[in-house]
Chain A
């Protein structure tokens, strides 16, 4: 009873915040609402027994996406007022409302007439999980049963980063993203940037290692590690890397390449792409996870930093040819 009440309150708050992000006049307030929304959403995942999803949602959905949008709001301030002048007319708004209501009603009908009993793959997962050697069924699905999804996801992340980098203006090609942050070296931010990363790195690696048998895993770990790296950059203790740095690019390509290599290895040894030979599933999974961690950390942090904005040799001012 109590938990239903809590769920009801969470639902009402979620709907109110979602409406707020749509009706708020100010983009900053809308994004602030979206960040709270993301955090509340992780409560929903806990209630739906998806602890791994809750961790990912809090770290990426609320944390990284929120910070990314908040950073964008700061740069877009001056375009906001102009944009309201382009607001669509009453007719379009009425049509949009009608369409939204129709979509919602269609979905509600679908939800009310779901098949019973619900289709599920849980028994199959439980039956075959011991063969993978991992104890967390989510990790088993991500890296054994549906490994091809995770492989494609890693590739999508790298492609997204290539997409962001290719938006660099010519003069900044291969350069460093974002501004060079200059924080007070004795200030609070610099203090936190010295204090938190050691703790964050330990927590990140713990989440990574524990992910085999408990909630957690490489995505959540990579998010924490990326956040620590960004914190160091924002406190001015380190600079963003040059995007033409070969070691950096190798680190980014490492995860997908190792993943594909393990997949190809499965052809002769297990007879199928991404198949693991008998008894070798756990070591193979660990190899893939270890290779994916630097890729995910680098890509998540660099996606946050955005397109290169400073010329490749920003430390030494160079005369234009």
Chain B
């Protein structure tokens, strides 16, 4: 199996693991880590596709690679906003709970 195929399949599993963690983990910070795992899976999949696009003497297609750099920076910015929101939530309510108020819970 080629390297890019190996990493592409690995990326599919990473996306699945991240998605599971995002749904199941109760603490928002853990959800955030899981979401980042899922996102990195998407990046690796895209990177493997870039490697498949090697042509014209280049070892990989530079267009998806450039988009990946943009994506990694934007993912960090989004994570920073999420962390700030979470810290503010705890400051305001004293808890990290994402549950609805008990009255509205079925």
Contact = CB atoms under 8 A, between A and B. Distances in A.
A169 B88 CA distance: 9
B8 to A, nearest CB: 5
A92 B24 contact: yes
Interface of A is mostly: helix
Contacts of B76: 60-61, 64-65, 68, 300, 303
Chain B CB count within 10 A is highest, among A41, A99, A141, for A141
B50 to A, nearest CB: 7
Contacts of A195: none
Interface string A278-298: 000000000000000000000
Nearest to B68: A53
A234 B79 CA distance: 21
Interface string B45-87: 1011111111111111111011111101111111111011111
Contacts of B45: 107, 111
Interface of B is mostly: helix
Chain B CB count within 10 A is highest, among A50, A299, A306, for A50
Interface size class of A (residues with CB under 8 A): 35 or more
A314 B106 CA distance: 46
A86 B16 contact: no
Contact of B60 (A34, A48, A101, A142): A48
A207 to B, nearest CB: 13
Nearest to B58: A122
B6 A7 contact: yes
A122 B3 contact: no
A121 interface: yes
Interface of B: 1, 3-21, 23-27, 29-30, 32-34, 36-37, 40, 44-45, 47-63, 65-70, 72-81, 83-88, 90-91, 95-99
